[in-house]
A and B are shown apart, each in its own frame.
Chain A
Amino acid sequence: MPALAGPFEDSVAKFANDEFSDTEAAIGEIAASGNALAPRIIGALQDGRLSADPDSKKVFITQTDGKIIDAATGAAVDKLPDNAAAVRLNNRLRRTVEAALGGLTLLSSDPAKRLAAAQSVFKSHEENLLPTVEGALAKESVKSIKQAFAEARAAIILFKPDASDSDKLDAVAVVKARGDQEALALLTGLGDQPPSVTKAAAAAVTSIQSNLAMWSMVQNAWYGLSLGSVLLLAAIGLAITFGVMGVINMAHGEMVMLGAYTTFVVQEVIRTRYPALFDYSLLIAVPLAFLVAGLIGVVIERTIIRFLYGRPLETLLATWGLSLVLQQAVRTAFGPTNREVGNPSWMSGAFELGQITITYNRLWILCFTLAVFAILLAMLRYTALGLEMRAVTQNRRMAASMGIATSRVDALTFGLGSGIAGIAGVALSQIDNVSPNLGQSYIIDSFMVVVFGGVGNLWGTLVGAFTLGIANKFLEPVAGAVLGKIAILVLIILFIQKRPRGLFALKGRAVEA
């Protein structure tokens, strides 16, 4: 072991022992040392950028710009020794690191870091940080961070045994005003307190709970919308192939899967060739997925389905067989295991709206679904192809005698439905597995939505999807996920008995055809 210069260096060297207990001791000592390198060491430890050489007991920081420095001295180093390995952490140590870093970055010049520090102190309520927090609170000028500091201070005071009752009562009020689940967790875990404080805390807990209960209704509604958008997205292609054309297309789910795999291939190419474009990968994948699934749809229609019009049972069996063939083909080409499709940065994470958490990926999928729906609707309404499609589905012979090439329109309609299923696959790859089985999990739900909404009516599909989504999400907390799903199926069966043609039944000649 080389001669070491002082206690700080000794502490740093402990990281090289690869023992959790030594690492914990080192974190405590370094955090307390006041050394200028301390925040950088602990920060590097948190991000996995701190490595140690077990032989020389030297510890290194890989900085965010890629340069390497010696953690004990701050001197620049050319490269890491060959046997240097990242210092390991477990959950307990990660909490220690968070708390230590919170203490060290309370006075950071970066507002985001100060906010994170205040929040981690709120959780750790480390008693000896009280003077630092109070100092930071006095100096802080940003309102939201000042609030966070005040809450952190309140948390510390609540857990400080010698704080006065009136201080503690004020602290309860501050935490109560915060009103979220973390506030609830803090107040319910207070332990032994003077009677007046216990009483105030209990009252605060009740008030927070009733407030949160109200928010949870809002949250269920949001979850319902989000589930509804996924259902709609999966079903919207089927609303064309099954709803408009009347083809019982069991291979619909596989078109969704092909769209998801197209996303995977696009991301693979981007990863290896143009990593800078990663955030745009989905935008590139959407048209490609439409083309891939759409073309395959046209081929399927030309080679199989056109011979089976008017024979639903044969169509069902043929498309089901086709779905197995497509699944196995993908399994052979890409392997049976899940493929990783990454979330672009703008689809990761969440934001808080009041007391509910809204995740970006769900929000984007909702917007995307509505956009796809609007475009499809406009296409059917305002383009020549849309007009021909409606003409052919409403009265094939009349359309044919008006000079419309009905078989070409059939192929294009089926291609359109399949292409939209492919687009759905791009979005679903963001929230589900990309595996050969992806499509199977959506096929039943898709048929359910289309039948419930009313065959042949796009608006029915929209209303059907959102109704089922919201009903499901309000049932789930009460009945559980398994029973909730069963209840929905039972309700649909009953509903179909009453209204066999779904929510919005088509009227007119198409019905008799």
Chain B
Amino acid sequence: MLTQLTHKITTMTRRRALAATAGLVLGLAASSPFAPAQAADDTIKIGILHSLSGTMAISETTLKDTILFLIDEQNKKGGVLGKKLEAVVVDPASNWPLFAEKARELITKDKVAVVFGCWTSVSRKSVLPVFKELNNILFYPVQYEGEESERNVFYTGAAPNQQAIPAVDYLMKEEKVKRWVLAGTDYVYPRTTNKILEAYLKSKGVAQDDIMINYTPFGHSDWQTIVADIKKFGSAGKKTAVVSTINGDANVPFYKELGNQGIKATDIPVVAFSVGEEELAGIDTKPLLGHLAAWNYFESIKTPANEKFIKEWQAYTKNPKRVTNDPMEAHYIGFNMWVKAVEKVKSTDPDKVIDALPGTEAPNLTGGVSKMLPNHHITKPVFIGEIKGNGQFDVVWKTPGLVAGDAWSKELEGSKDLIGDWVGKKCGNYNTKTNKCGGQGS
């Protein structure tokens, strides 16, 4: 029952009395068949497909709040096309098949104009056929393994060349790293990313003996052996670093074990791709001083846009300690791009918006302007941050300009000739060697 509960928050019609009612009652009342009819024509509905219960709730709940916040801000400015925006929140409960079901419900029953959602790659893969079949739009805000470009999906998180490769470059140049531990959780994102990184490292002349690859199950909590192995691997007289694609909850015990076994960032730095401000909120970061993370956004970056965003976000959530993170910024960019595209074509019709989105520009929070590319990925700056004692990151390096996201990795045999181009070629996996649409992927 709990998982099927559908929350609906009609931002416009929310009255004080209603808001005071418990969320459960509100959800039940609004999802009764009589409720939505009144608001059908004068609002634009936006679907939010993020897990609010189950294992992924830890990360995804914040993104749900982010979209609600962005909708609230947009409505204060008068909405879009003269209409107010209305959020439709569903809870796919960290259950991959339920993601597809909930996506179908959002599009067919609630008739949303666009959906913001998903975190894990498997949830994205699960909803893909639904978005294709029903022809709607999904904005996906999380860094992922790439190797995909779909007409109905817009990827606002980092592709591997916008996160992993620059991070490795940084370690090679600044830290003179010669030996590499690629440690990850055992699923598709770390495995693909590590495959790309392994190919990249070898192309830079790193020997097989100097690469150690290690996978652990989801939620792994006993890191003693692996941390000891890393220590051993690092004592071969060459500078060693760990590239971590360890996911979610497993990070806290991993970092605790590193701290306890006395591995300092000055000896063996760890650069992580899935550890942001949210994840650090659960750890005492003093022993982690100097370990690294690569992202396209850090809360600590001082720009007027970012400071304004953080201030309004904390006011909206009524929590002065609430942190911001990279996927939130991705939603910020994606949401604003969608608003701009809709205003350009004066319609929320998915076909028109999909065609209008490539080329659309929207400011990011770090002082630049990101652009939607024909492959449905965006341009982003890449930052390397070091963990500070207060749970925030100190930016120590950034790319000189924005990096364009590659849908298909240039490092992998099967994908290096492929490009995604939904403007000229109308194809997500166009092979530039054979000049044909179609190849690995779909």
Contact = CB atoms under 8 A, between A and B. Distances in A.
B46 to A, nearest CB: 22
B231 A181 contact: yes
B321 to A, nearest CB: 11
11 contacts: A92-B174, A181-B234, A337-B61, A337-B282, A340-B281, A342-B284, A350-B262, A357-B228, A359-B260, A361-B260, A431-B253
Contacts of B394: 88
B175 A91 contact: yes
B281 A481 contact: no
Interface in B60-92: 61-62
Given A361-B256, A476-B225, 8 more contacts: A181-B234, A188-B237, A223-B225, A338-B282, A340-B281, A359-B224, A362-B224, A480-B215
Contacts of B58: 336-338, 435-437
Contacts of B220: 481
Contact of B55 (A95, A181, A343, A437): A437
Interface in A84-112: 88-92, 94-95, 98
Nearest to A356: B228
A194 interface: no
B226 interface: yes
A131 interface: no
Given A181-B235, A338-B249, A340-B284, A94 B265 contact: yes
A434 B282 contact: yes
A88 B392 CA distance: 13
B266 A98 contact: yes
Nearest to B391: A340
A436 B57 contact: yes
Interface in A198-251: 212, 216, 219-220, 223, 226-227, 230
Contact of B222 (A91, A227, A336): A227
Interface residues of A, number: 64
A91 B266 contact: yes
B283 interface: yes
B172 to A, nearest CB: 13
Contacts of B237: 184-190
Contacts of A190: 237
A35 B281 CA distance: 41
Contacts of A91: 175, 265-266, 269, 290, 292, 386
Contacts of B278: 337
Given A343-B284, A359-B257, A481 B214 contact: yes
A312 interface: no
Given A91-B265, A95-B266, A357-B262, A433 B252 contact: yes
Contacts of A357: 228, 261-262
Interface in A4-25: 20
B349 interface: no
Contacts of B231: 181
B17 interface: no
B217 interface: yes
Contacts of A216: 228, 232
Interface residues of B, number: 56
B225 A92 contact: no
B186 A189 contact: no
Contact of B226 (A340, A435, A436, A481): A481
B235 A184 contact: yes
B216 interface: yes
Nearest to B267: A123
Given A189-B238, A324-B2, A338-B58, A477 B252 contact: no
A314 interface: no
Which of B57, B62, B262, B266 has the most CB atoms of chain A within a 10 A radius of its CB? Answer: B266
A390 interface: no
Interface of A: 20, 48, 88-92, 94-95, 98, 181-182, 184-190, 212, 216, 219-220, 223, 226-227, 230, 324-325, 327-328, 331, 335-340, 342-343, 348-350, 357, 359-362, 431-437, 440-441, 473, 476-477, 480-482, 485
A315 B284 CA distance: 39
B19 interface: no
Given A350-B262, A473-B225, A480-B215, A331 B386 contact: no
Contacts of B229: 477
A338 B279 contact: yes
A186 B235 CA distance: 8
B396 interface: yes
A431 B256 CA distance: 7
Contacts of A219: 228
A186 B237 CA distance: 6
Given A88-B394, A338-B252, A435-B282, A441 B57 contact: no
A182 B225 CA distance: 18
A201 to B, nearest CB: 10
Contact of A336 (B61, B221, B260): B61
A485 B217 contact: yes
B53 A331 contact: yes
B20 interface: no
Contacts, number: 156
Contacts of B236: 184-185, 188-189
B224 A90 contact: no
B244 to A, nearest CB: 14
Contacts of B52: 336
Given A223-B224, A348-B260, A437 B249 contact: yes
A352 to B, nearest CB: 9
B219 interface: yes
Given A91-B175, A437-B219, A339 B282 contact: yes
A418 to B, nearest CB: 22
A189 B178 CA distance: 12
10 residue pairs, one from A and one from B, having the closest CB atoms: A189-B237, A338-B282, A188-B237, A181-B235, A185-B235, A359-B260, A336-B57, A481-B216, A90-B396, A223-B224
B389 interface: yes
Given A357-B228, A362-B224, A435-B249, A481 B215 contact: yes
A355 to B, nearest CB: 11
B236 to A, nearest CB: 5
B298 to A, nearest CB: 14
Contacts of A434: 282
A434 B284 CA distance: 13
B253 A477 contact: no
Contacts of A335: 61
Contacts of A94: 265-266, 290
B290 A441 contact: no
Interface string B275-303: 00011011110010010100000000000
Contacts of A88: 394, 396
Given A181-B231, A481-B220, A48 B389 contact: yes
Given A88-B394, A185-B235, A441-B221, A328 B252 contact: no
Contacts of A328: 2, 53
Nearest to A231: B222
B269 to A, nearest CB: 6
Contacts of B282: 337-340, 433-435
Contacts of A343: 256, 284
Interface in B192-231: 214-217, 219-222, 224-226, 228-229, 231
Interface in B384-419: 386, 389, 394, 396
A342 B252 CA distance: 12
A33 B259 CA distance: 34
Contacts of B396: 20, 88, 90
Contact of B186 (A95, A340, A476, A482): A482
A338 B252 CA distance: 9
B33 to A, nearest CB: 26
Contacts of B214: 480-481
A328 B283 CA distance: 22
A102 B253 CA distance: 31
B261 A350 contact: yes
Interface string B16-60: 000000000000000000000000000000000000110101100
